[in-house]
């Protein structure tokens, strides 16, 4: 086994992160104790901005027209790349920080502060981009469409999980709300005078289920009835259903969408109901920049951490960082905080635990060390850029 040594520059980053430990732990626990929902993370955003502003980062608030989005920037030397750490900080209704965003946001702030305080030798610009509403609302998608990530050479963030994984896939997805308008009538004495909006919903589910045998293995379609009528003795004049469509790529997703919309329109036509559709933001698949992932993995190994291979079939969830990864080199590694799974009360507890806080600081060190590599080593930056260019050309040709 090769002996890995930490050079003097990276040792400075490690020491700087450790010097920040008490402050960053307090910050993470502060956010954990006061969870805020998507687009309403006012106190969390302010808490993350405060130490960056105090350290001399320039601060831009309400980025992309989002009240709780921000960008903190600090430049060292002249020229060099722009590296951004992404901060998430919204929570889940009832469960609080059951996805560990208090750790994510604080780790990114800690990484940026450590780089500034370490006094390492590099040319480049370090940013922390505060991205609200990951759970509900696709904050990064809105910010990407507004050009926030244009000109950024690489973006990084970490996510707490049950094991260490430097790369993991994520599917493209879109949500669709189907609203059916029928005609009310007495369900016993005059049903023939009514048009059942609920029948249209039921036929939609039947149609979608008939399509499943023709979907490729990467496709996931799941739906719920969000309104099925109000009384059993009235033909429902209004009903609605919400579906979430997923596929390995945005191109594949569009084909799934076409088929589901056709089935839904057929259900409306068959029942006589009028159909309205509300479509959410499209989440793109995640492109893990393998060159950047390798840099992060090597820094994790330097810190004495294990790196596991990703699952064979990749991920089946979706996240708005996928849209960012279509614009610039990106990684979204996972680090273990315990034998717990996201969106559970147990995960929320782990996100405020000593183990969770320790993992957050390990992530901050690895993020900062990886940013240093990109700013200090031109060959590392070039490898990341070439990897992104290669992926982009394959994606355009349909081979990705």
- Strand 70-76 and strand 124-130: the pairing is antiparallel
Q: Which of 225, 244, 279 is the last residue of a domain?
A: 279
* Rounded-to-integer distance, Cα 400 and Cα 391, Å: 7
Q: Which of 221, 248, 279 is the last residue of a domain?
A: 279
What CATH number should be reported for the domain holding residue 192? 3.30.70.360
What's residue 398's pLDDT?
A: 62
Query: What is the full per-residue pLDDT of the chain (400 aa) written as tens digits?
Result: 344 567 999 999 999 999 999 999 999 999 999 999 999 999 999 999 999 999 999 999 999 999 999 999 999 999 999 999 999 999 999 999 999 999 999 999 999 999 999 999 999 999 999 999 999 999 999 999 999 999 999 999 999 999 999 999 999 999 999 999 999 999 999 999 999 999 999 999 999 999 999 999 999 999 999 999 999 999 999 999 999 999 999 999 999 999 999 999 999 999 999 999 999 999 999 999 999 999 999 999 999 999 987 766 656 789 999 999 999 999 999 999 999 999 999 999 999 999 999 999 999 999 999 999 999 999 999 999 999 999 998 877 665 5
* Rounded-to-integer distance, Cα 186 and Cα 145, Å: 49
Question: Which string of DSSP letters, residue by residue, matches 285-345?
Answer: PP---HHHHHHHHHHHHHTT---BPPPTT------THHHHHTTSEEE--EEE-SS--SSSH
The verdict on residue 1 lying in a domain is: no
What's residue 347's pLDDT?
A: 98
Residues 247 and 343 in one domain: no
In this structure, what token pair is assigned to residue 158? 């970490």
The parent domain of residue 198 ranges over: 172-279
What's residue 3's pLDDT?
A: 42
Distances (CA, A) of 85 to 1, 309, 330: 32, 23, 10
Number of structural domains found in the chain: 2
**pTM higher than 0.95:** no
Residues 19 and 134 in one domain: yes
* Rounded-to-integer distance, Cα 288 and Cα 169, Å: 7
Residues 314 and 242 in one domain: no
CB 153, CB 374: distance < 8 Å: yes
> Tokens 């998430």, residue?
88
Residues 85 and 191 in one domain: no
Residues 165 and 177 in one domain: no
What's residue 395's pLDDT?
A: 78
The verdict on residue 3 lying in a domain is: no
The verdict on residue 84 lying in a domain is: yes
What's residue 1's pLDDT?
A: 35
- Strand 238-247 and strand 82-87: the pairing is unpaired
């Amino acid at each position: 086994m090769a002996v890995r040594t930490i050079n003097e520059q990276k040792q400075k980053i490690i020491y700087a992160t450790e010097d920040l430990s008490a402050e960053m732990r307090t910050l993470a626990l502060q956010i954990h104790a006061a969870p805020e929902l998507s687009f309403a993370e006012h106190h969390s955003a302010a808490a993350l901005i405060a130490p960056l502003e105090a350290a001399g980062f320039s601060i831009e608030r309400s980025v992309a027209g989002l009240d709780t989005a921000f960008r903190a920037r600090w430049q060292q030397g002249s020229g060099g790349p722009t590296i951004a750490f992404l901060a998430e900080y919204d929570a889940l209704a009832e469960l609080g920080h059951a996805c560990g965003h208090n750790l994510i946001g604080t780790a990114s702030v800690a990484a940026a502060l450590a780089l500034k305080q370490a006094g390492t030798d590099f040319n480049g610009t370090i940013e922390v981009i505060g991205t609200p509403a990951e759970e509900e609302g696709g904050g990064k998608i809105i910010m990407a469409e507004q050009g926030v990530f244009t000109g950024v050479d690489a973006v990084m963030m970490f996510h707490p999980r049950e094991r260490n994984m430097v790369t993991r896939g994520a599917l493209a997805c879109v949500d669709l709300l189907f609203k059916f308008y029928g005609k009310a009538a007495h369900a016993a004495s005059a049903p023939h005078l009514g048009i059942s909006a609920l029948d249209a919903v039921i036929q939609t589910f039947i149609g979608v289920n008939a399509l499943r045998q023709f979907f490729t293995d990467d496709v996931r379609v799941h739906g719920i009835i969000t309104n099925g009528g109000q009384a059993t003795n009235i033909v429902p004049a209004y009903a609605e259903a919400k579906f979430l469509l997923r596929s390995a790529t945005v191109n594949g997703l569009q084909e799934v969408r076409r088929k589901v919309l056709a089935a839904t329109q057929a259900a409306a036509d068959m029942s006589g109901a009028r159909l309205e559709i509300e479509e959410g933001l499209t989440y793109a698949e995640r492109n893990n920049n393998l060159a950047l992932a390798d840099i992060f993995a090597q820094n994790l190994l330097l810190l004495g951490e294990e790196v596991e291979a990703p699952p064979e079939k990749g991920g089946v969830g979706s996240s708005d960082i996928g849209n960012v990864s279509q614009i610039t080199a990106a990684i979204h590694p996972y680090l273990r905080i315990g034998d717990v799974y996201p969106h559970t009360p147990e995960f929320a507890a782990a996100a405020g635990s000593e183990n969770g806080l320790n993992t957050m600081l390990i992530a901050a060190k690895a993020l900062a060390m990886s940013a240093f590599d990109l700013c200090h080593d031109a060959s590392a930056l070039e490898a990341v850029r070439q990897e992104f260019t290669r992926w982009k050309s394959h994606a355009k040709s349909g081979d990705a």
